[in-house]
C-alpha cells in the first residue's frame, strides 16, 4: 500500500483498508517509509506484492506507478485527492471495491511509459515530460523534430510530451488532445506558443521526439512527472520516446475510461 499526506490525515482510510484486508484474508505489505509514517511493521513488498493499493490522489498514484513500473504488480487507487483520474475508486466505495479487488475482480490496463534522455541522464515518466523556460517571464526558443525530421524552432513557454495517461493532465490544460487508454502514442503540445500556427501533434510509438534549446541565453528545465530532471543549456538537447518498460493500472471492472472521462470532464 502507498498513502498520501500525513498519517493523521489518511489514518482513518488506512484503518478501513486494514479492516477489509482482515475480513478477506489479505496480507498488507508496507515499505519502510510507509511503516514509519503509520507506526506499523515494515517490509519491502515490491517483489512479493500481488496488488498495490493507493490511498491518495493522482500524485500518489504516479509515485506508486513509478515504484512498480516494469513489474507484474498493478496499481489500484482510492481517490483521496482532487481530480483523481487515475485513482478510480471513490472514498465512499472503499470497502465494496476493495473487497471485490481482493477477490480478484478488477481490470488491468498496460500503460505506455516515456523515456527521457538528456546527456547521460535517463528518466522514466508515467504522465509527461515537460521542457520549459527556467527563467520566470522569459520565453524559450525550442527546436523540435520527430523521427529524425526537423520541424523548426518555436518560441514558447514550454513543450509537453505526454502519454495517454498524462494526456488528461497538463497536456489537456494546455489545449492538447486526450488520448484514449489503449493507444501507444505521444502527444506533443506547446505551452503558450508565440505563434498562430503551433498545433498539438500525436506521434506513433516508433518515432523519437527531439527537443533542443535554441535560446540565446535561457536554460531550459526538463520536468518528468512534476519533478525536475535535468537542465538544457543553450545548444543542448533532449530525446523522448516510448520506453520498453510498462506500468500496470488496476481499475474496478465498471470504471471504464469513457465512464471516468464523463464523470470528471463532462458531468
Please give the full DSSP string across 41-70, using - where no structure is assigned: -----TTT-S-EEEEE-HHHHHHHHHHTTT
The rounded distance, in Å, linking the Cα atoms of 170 and 175 is 9
Q: Is 32 a catalytic residue?
A: no
pLDDT at 267: 63
The catalytically annotated residue of 58, 72, 150, 206 is 58
pLDDT in tens, the chain (267 residues): 999 877 788 889 999 999 999 999 999 998 888 888 888 876 655 568 999 999 998 899 999 999 999 999 999 999 998 777 899 999 999 999 999 999 999 999 999 999 999 999 999 999 999 999 999 889 999 999 999 999 999 999 999 999 999 999 999 999 999 999 999 999 999 999 999 999 999 999 999 999 999 999 999 999 999 999 999 999 999 999 999 999 999 999 998 999 989 988 886
Domain at 113-245, CATH from 2.60.200.30, 1.10.3720.10, 3.40.50.720, 1.10.1200.10: 2.60.200.30
Q: Which H/E stretch holds residue 94? A: helix 94-102
- Of 192, 151, 156, 196, nearest in space to 175 by CA: 192
Pairing of strands 237-251, 75-79: parallel
Phi–psi pair at 201, nearest 5 degrees? -135, 140
Domain ranges of the chain: 2-106+252-266, 113-245
Q: Which H/E stretch holds residue 258? A: helix 257-261
* Same fold? 2-106+252-266, 113-245: no
pLDDT at 42: 66
**C-alpha cell of residue 20:** 477489509
CATH of domain 2-106+252-266: 3.40.50.10330
Please give the full DSSP string across 100-152, using - where no structure is assigned: HHHTT--EEEEEEEEEEEETTEEEEESSEEEEEESSTT--EEEEEEETTEEEE
Amino acid at each position: 500500500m502507498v498513502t498520501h499526506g500525513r498519517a493523521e490525515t489518511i489514518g482513518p482510510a488506512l484503518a478501513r483498508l486494514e479492516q477489509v484486508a482482515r475480513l478477506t484474508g489479505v496480507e498488507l505489505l508496507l515499505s519502510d517509509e510507509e511503516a514509519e509514517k503509520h507506526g506499523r511493521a515494515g517490509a519491502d513488498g515490491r517483489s512479493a506484492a500481488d496488488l498495490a493499493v493507493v490511498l491518495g490522489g493522482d500524485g500518489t498514484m504516479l509515485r506508486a506507478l513509478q515504484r512498480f513500473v516494469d513489474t507484474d504488480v498493478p496499481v489500484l487507487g482510492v481517490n483521496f485527492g482532487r481530480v483523481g483520474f487515475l485513482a478510480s475508486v471513490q472514498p465512499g466505495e472503499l470497502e465494496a471495491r476493495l473487497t471485490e479487488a481482493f477477490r480478484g475482480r478488477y481490470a488491468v490496463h498496460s500503460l505506455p511509459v516515456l523515456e527521457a534522455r538528456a546527456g547521460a541522464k535517463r528518466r522514466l515518466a508515467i504522465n509527461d515530460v515537460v521542457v520549459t523556460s527556467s527563467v520566470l517571464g522569459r520565453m524559450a526558443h525550442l527546436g523540435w523534430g520527430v523521427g529524425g525530421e526537423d520541424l523548426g524552432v518555436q518560441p514558447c513557454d514550454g513543450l509537453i510530451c505526454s502519454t495517454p495517461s498524462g494526456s488528461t493532465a497538463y497536456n489537456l490544460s494546455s489545449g492538447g488532445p486526450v488520448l484514449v487508454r489503449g493507444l501507444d502514442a505521444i502527444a506533443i503540445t506547446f505551452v503558450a506558443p508565440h505563434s498562430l500556427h503551433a498545433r498539438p501533434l500525436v506521434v506513433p510509438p516508433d518515432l523519437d521526439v527531439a527537443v533542443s534549446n535554441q535560446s540565446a541565453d535561457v536554460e531550459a528545465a526538463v520536468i518528468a512527472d512534476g519533478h525536475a530532471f535535468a537542465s538544457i543549456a543553450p545548444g543542448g538537447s533532449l530525446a523522448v520516446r516510448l520506453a520498453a518498460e510498462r506500468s500496470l493500472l488496476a481499475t474496478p471492472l465498471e470504471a471504464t475510461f469513457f465512464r471516468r472521462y464523463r464523470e470528471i470532464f463532462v458531468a
